[in-house]
């Protein structure tokens, strides 16, 4: 059975992409409803498959050569990804229809748009199931390819520039990872007959690695995987890509960032098996703090709603890296929890920002007026989303920030620095909202009639964040504890 | 004995020639010449992999040689030339951050820096003198490719920079480990990605947005109207 799981997982995306190609050949004028329905069905099937995987006994070796492997972390990430994609698929139904009405996207590009979205979900899922680091690298590269295609489907020249920047920054950094992978393979030949790039094999053999050579491999791989997760100074692609992409794609990028952080998590686990972990931990802390600092100060002078959310995503990466650097079971527990909390926080923000954009036809705060009257749900979503992203109590990111700061208590200087960056970031985001909600009244404009399909994902995100902020279900806590054990970090 | 010496000398000469092509990539302004240089660089890499196969008899080296020959010596340069025919640019004259001379000076410094690091690691990674040279030139080539990405303005030149960087990584791989099959797949995915995307985007950046979307709809495979 396990040998067929990969094929079963490939089927929905390939089938829906194939059907989309068929539909595009049948009709000269593609109908958004057909494509979006296919997209929703596919995302729902993946959510179902994710739940099915969660109920199977783990870990599962999914291929004879051990290239694919499902442990609790992989399935946890797949469930988050499929959840995010399901919400964005529902949202896309109304959102893309509105983009077509405003002539911001050409209807003839719908097959490319939805097809890429379907394949992106598949690539991310296969990435999470990759036990082989070279295979993981391949899926991360493919995710860049599909993400860039999704950016250029919108009618704006700036989108091409944003996509180019994304490809060149992410792929250049990924070539460093490629070098790191080659060194790691060379190292593995000393301890594993014939060498291996399978994470499970490397975990067992890591204690015998030469430390200096491993450190170089670690740094090189961190550059590539970190760049993909928005780590400074390789984060420069992220704000532009997030801002230029349609909101529904920006939401999906939350899962793409998770794949980058997932790779760093695997790398961290590997480094903890070696004799000396100091360089790995220090480099994670340094990049984490740098990322937090850059994100915090970049948030101060923003005028574009989606750019605020993008820098908040960079801040999230900084937080995750700083948490990982502590390499303690407690910090890791909250880093893994953050992998769940952040994509849904960002989803809420991007869904709401998307509705604002439909209302004001601009992402600039200067265009916003009477937001609570014209778009009450989206405005509430943005307020709650910003509160969640900054770490306001009773919302899930608060738990992450509080516990990571508590773990930093033994290093007072870093604690103060992190606290300062969090406060600057919160100030920047708060100030942005304040300006957006206090604009002088513009000439009366009719309210954009938000379709139900765009409202439902916002409501679901609001409910989910409200629950996660005050109640951590015992089963979820158990799942995350199992993940920390699988990563070799449990006390 | 004589054969071993001959192979070693051939490898050394090939490595030096590859380094020479990297210098030309940094300084060349004519796009057509740039593609030719990239093609020659890839050919040298394919020959190098073949020589290593002759020396060590590892099949994956033969496969890498064939893949490199077909994709990087024939297909990619031809594809890039077809892109060039569609766009009006023939030369990339603009440099930012670095001029060609300063790029070459930095390249020399990088070469020494990389040599210093790998010299320290030669025992850990089981490098002989020849393999040390190969790994050092591979990483230096990758870094020189990266300089091209950052110092040139035109997308198409940046693409050649990326491809040079990728050649450097492959060269490094040839000398560090007996690459498993998966690494070859990885190289192919990498090439596919940069080929499809950079060409697609190169069409876009140098044409109207409507014409770009027309090409995107046809996956960039149509001919210029």
- Which one of A278-287, B201-210, B213-222 scores highest in mean pLDDT? A278-287
Among partner residues B149, B165, B193, which is closest to A141 by beta-carbon distance? Answer: B193
Q: How far apart are CA B218 and CA B136, in angstroms?
A: 42
Nearest-CB residue to B124 (from A108, A161, A212)? A212
Under 8 Å CB pairs connecting chains A and B tally to: 125
Greatest mean pLDDT range, A254-268, B3-17, B87-101: A254-268
Angle value at C-alpha A336, between A331 and A338, nearest 5 degrees: 95
Least confident of A158-162, B35-39, B40-44: A158-162
In this prediction, residue A26 carries a pLDDT of 85
* Cross-chain Cβ contact A155/B194 below 8 Å: no
Residues 6+ apart with CB under 8 A from B112: none
Is A109's CB within 8 Å of B213's CB? yes
Nearest to residue A421, comparing CAs of A400, A405, A433?
A405
Alpha helices in A361-448 (DSSP H): 371-374, 376-390, 396-407, 412-436
Q: Is residue A437 part of a domain?
A: yes
Beta bridge partners of A198: A132
Total tally of structural domains belonging to chain A: 1
B169 touches chain A (CB under 8 A): yes
List of chain B residues whose C-beta atoms are within 8 Å of the C-beta of residue A182: 169, 172-173, 176-177, 179, 183
Helices (H), A63-156: 72-101, 110-129, 133-152
Record: contact B190-A141, CB cut-off 8 A: yes
Nearest residue of A to residue B170, measured between CA atoms: A179
Beta bridge partners of B30: B91
Q: Indicate the pLDDT class of residue B64, thresholds 50, 70 and 90.
A: confident
Map residue A364 onto helix, strand or coil.
strand
| Chain B hits for A108, Cβ within 8 Å | 213, 217
Is A455 within 8 Å of A377 (Cβ atoms)? Answer: yes
Q: Which residues contact B143 (CB under 8 A, 6 or more apart)?
A: B107, B110, B114, B165, B168
Q: Are residues B79 and B194 in contact, defined by beta-carbon separation less than 8 angstroms?
A: no
B209: chain A residues, CB-CB within 8 Å: 155-157, 160
Would you call B124 and A135 a contact, using CB atoms and an 8 Å cutoff? Answer: no
Q: Is residue A372 part of a domain?
A: yes
A197 three-state secondary structure: coil
Cα A69 to Cα A2: distance, rounded to the nearest angstrom: 10
Residue B179 banded pLDDT, cuts 50, 70, 90: low
Per-residue pLDDT 10s for chain A (491 aa) are: 777 899 999 999 999 999 999 998 887 788 889 999 999 999 999 999 999 999 998 889 998 888 899 999 999 999 999 999 999 999 999 999 999 998 888 888 899 899 999 999 999 999 999 999 988 998 998 899 889 888 888 777 778 878 888 888 888 898 899 889 988 988 888 888 888 889 999 999 999 898 988 999 999 999 999 999 999 999 999 998 998 899 999 999 999 999 999 999 999 999 999 989 999 999 999 999 999 999 999 999 889 999 999 999 999 999 999 999 999 999 999 999 999 999 999 999 999 999 999 998 888 988 888 889 899 999 999 999 999 999 999 899 999 999 999 998 888 999 999 999 999 999 999 999 999 998 877 677 788 899 999 999 999 999 999 999 999 999 999 999 999 999 988 65
Collect all residues with Cβ–Cβ distance below 8 Å to A471 and sequence separation of at least 6: none
Task: Give the pLDDT score at A66.
Answer: 86
Q: Which domain holds residue A374?
A: 300-491
Q: Give the ipTM.
A: 0.80
Chain B contact set for A187 (CB, 8 A) = 124-125
Which pLDDT score, from 0 to 100, does residue B201 have?
58
Cα–Cα distance between A372 and A378 in angstroms, integer? 8
Which of B125, B166, B213 minimises the CB distance to A186? B125
CB contact under 8 A, B216 and A161: no
CB-based contacts of B97, cutoff 8 Å, min separation 6 = B150, B151
pLDDT at B223 over 50: no
Instruction: Report domain extents, chain B.
Output: 2-90+99-217
pLDDT exceeds 60 at position B219? no
User: Which is more confident, B140 or B101?
Assistant: B140
Burial A271-288 (b: 16+ CB within 10 A, else e): bbbbeebebbbebbbebb
User: Residue B105: CB partners within 8 Å, gap ≥ 6?
Assistant: none
How far, in Å, CA of A384 to CA of A188, rounded?
48
List CB contacts (< 8 A) between B139 and chain A.
179
**Nearest residue in chain A measured CA to CA from B154:** A164
Q: What is the pLDDT of residue B198?
A: 63
> Looking at the domain assignment, is residue A462 inside a domain?
yes
The whole-number pLDDT of residue A127 equals 96
Q: How far is B75 from chain A (nearest CA, A)?
A: 20
Least CB–CB distance from B162: residue in A108, A144, A172: A172
User: Which residue of B lies nearest to A157 if distances are taken between CA atoms?
Assistant: B209
A387 within a domain of the structure (yes/no): yes
Does the pLDDT value for residue B19 go beyond 60?
Answer: yes
User: A156–B204: do the CB atoms touch at under 8 Å?
Assistant: no
Residue A353 in domain: yes
A242 to chain B, minimum CA–CA distance in Å? Answer: 18
- Distance (Å) from the C-alpha of residue A125 to the closest C-alpha of chain B? 18
Query: What local confidence, expressed as pLDDT, does residue A12 receive?
Result: 95
d(CA B150, CA B163): 13
Nearest-neighbour CA in chain A from B221: distance (Å): 14
pLDDT at A409: 87
Cβ <8 Å between A175 and B169: yes
Confidence band for B216, pLDDT divided at 50, 70 and 90: low
Numbered residues of chain A with Cβ closer than 8 Å to any chain B Cβ? 67, 106, 108-109, 112, 132, 134-135, 137-138, 141-142, 144-145, 148-149, 152-153, 155-157, 160-161, 163-164, 167-168, 171-172, 175, 178-179, 181-183, 185-187, 189, 195, 197, 210, 212-213, 216
Split at pLDDT 50, 70, 90, the class of B199 is low
3-state secondary structure of A488: coil
Q: Do B197 and A195 touch (CB under 8 A)?
A: no
Distance CA A161, CA B201 (A): 9
What is the model's pLDDT at position A189?
A: 83
Burial A72-108 (b: 16+ CB within 10 A, else e): bbbbbbbbbbbbbbbbbbbbbbbbbbbbbeeebbbbe
DSSP A78-96: HHHHHHHHHHHHHHHHHHH
Interface-testing mutation among A183, A193, A209, A214, with chain B (most B C-beta atoms within 10 A): A183
pLDDT score, position B99: 78
Chain A closest-CA separation from residue B115 CA (Å): 14
Instruction: Kindly report whether the peptide bond that precedes residue A233 is cis, defined as omega within 30 degrees of 0.
Output: yes
Q: Are A66 and A132 in contact (CB under 8 A)?
A: yes
Return the structure tokens found at B118.
Answer: 């790998």
């Amino acid at each position: 059975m396990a040998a067929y799981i990969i094929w079963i997982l490939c089927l929905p995306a390939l089938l829906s992409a194939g059907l989309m190609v068929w539909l595009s050949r049948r009709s000269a004028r593609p109908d958004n409803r057909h494509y979006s329905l296919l997209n929703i069905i596919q995302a729902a099937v993946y959510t179902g498959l994710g739940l099915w995987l969660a109920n199977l006994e783990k870990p599962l070796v999914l291929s004879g050569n051990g290239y694919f492997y499902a442990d609790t972390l992989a399935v946890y990430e797949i469930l988050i990804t499929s959840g995010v994609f399901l919400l964005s698929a529902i949202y896309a139904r109304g959102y893309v229809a509105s983009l077509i009405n405003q002539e911001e996207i050409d209807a003839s590009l719908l097959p490319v748009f939805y097809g890429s979205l379907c394949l992106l979900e598949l690539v991310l899922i296969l990435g999470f199931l990759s036990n082989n680091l070279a295979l993981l690298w391949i899926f991360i590269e493919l995710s860049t390819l599909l993400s860039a295609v999704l950016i250029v489907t919108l009618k704006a020249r700036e989108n091409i520039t944003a996509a180019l920047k994304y490809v060149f920054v992410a792929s250049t950094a990924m070539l460093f990872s490629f070098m790191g992978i080659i060194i790691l393979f060379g190292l593995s030949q000393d301890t594993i007959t014939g060498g291996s790039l399978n994470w499970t094999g490397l975990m067992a053999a890591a204690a015998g690695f030469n430390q200096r050579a491993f450190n170089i491999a670690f740094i090189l791989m961190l550059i590539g995987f970190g760049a993909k997760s928005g780590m400074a100074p390789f984060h420069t692609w992220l704000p532009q890509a997030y801002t230029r992409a349609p909101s529904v794609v920006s939401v999906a990028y939350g899962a793409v960032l998770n794949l980058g952080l997932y790779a760093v998590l695997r790398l961290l686990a590997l480094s903890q098996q070696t004799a000396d972990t100091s360089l790995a931990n220090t480099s994670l802390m340094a990049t984490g703090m740098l990322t937090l600092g850059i994100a915090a100060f970049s948030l101060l002078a923003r005028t574009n709603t989606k750019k605020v959310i993008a820098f908040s995503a960079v801040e999230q990466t900084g937080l995750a890296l700083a948490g990982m650097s502590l390499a303690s079971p407690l910090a890791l527990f909250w880093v893994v929890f953050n992998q769940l909390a952040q994509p849904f926080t960002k989803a809420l923000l991007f869904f709401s920002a998307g509705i604002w954009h439909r209302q004001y036809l601009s992402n600039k705060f200067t265009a916003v007026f009477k937001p609570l009257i014209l778009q009450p749900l989206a405005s509430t979503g943005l307020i709650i989303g910003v509160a969640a992203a900054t770490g306001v109590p009773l919302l899930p990111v608060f738990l992450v920030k509080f516990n990571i700061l508590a773990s930093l208590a033994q290093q007072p200087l870093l604690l103060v620095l992190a606290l300062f960056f969090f406060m600057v970031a919160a100030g920047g985001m708060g100030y942005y909202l304040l300006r957006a909600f206090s604009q002088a009244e513009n000439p009366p404009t009719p309210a954009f009639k938000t379709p139900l399909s765009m409202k439902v994902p916002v409501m679901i995100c609001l409910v989910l964040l409200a629950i996660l902020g005050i109640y951590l279900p015992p089963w979820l806590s158990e799942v995350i504890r199992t993940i920390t054990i699988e990563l070799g970090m449990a006390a | 004995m004589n054969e071993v010496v001959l192979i070693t000398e051939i490898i050394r000469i090939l490595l030096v020639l590859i380094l020479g092509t990297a210098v030309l990539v940094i300084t060349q302004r004519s796009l057509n010449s740039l593609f030719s240089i990239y093609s020659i660089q890839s050919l040298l890499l394919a020959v190098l992999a073949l020589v290593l196969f002759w020396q060590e008899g590892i099949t994956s080296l033969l496969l890498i040689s064939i893949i490199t020959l077909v994709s990087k010596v024939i297909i990619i340069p031809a594809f890039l030339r077809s892109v060039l025919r569609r766009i009006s640019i023939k030369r990339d004259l603009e440099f930012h951050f670095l001029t060609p001379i300063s790029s070459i000076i930095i390249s020399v410094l990088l070469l020494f820096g990389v040599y210093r690091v790998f010299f320290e690691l030669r025992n850990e990674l089981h490098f002989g003198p020849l393999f040390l040279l190969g790994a050092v030139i591979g990483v230096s080539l990758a870094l020189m490719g990266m300089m091209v990405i950052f110092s040139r303005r035109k997308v198409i030149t940046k693409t050649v920079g990326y491809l040079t960087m990728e050649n450097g990584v492959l060269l490094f791989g040839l000398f560090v480990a007996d690459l498993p099959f998966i690494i070859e797949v990885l190289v192919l995915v990498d090439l596919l990605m940069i080929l499809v995307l950079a060409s697609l985007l190169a069409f876009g950046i140098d044409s109207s947005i409507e014409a770009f979307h027309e090409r995107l709809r046809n996956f960039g495979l149509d001919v210029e109207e």
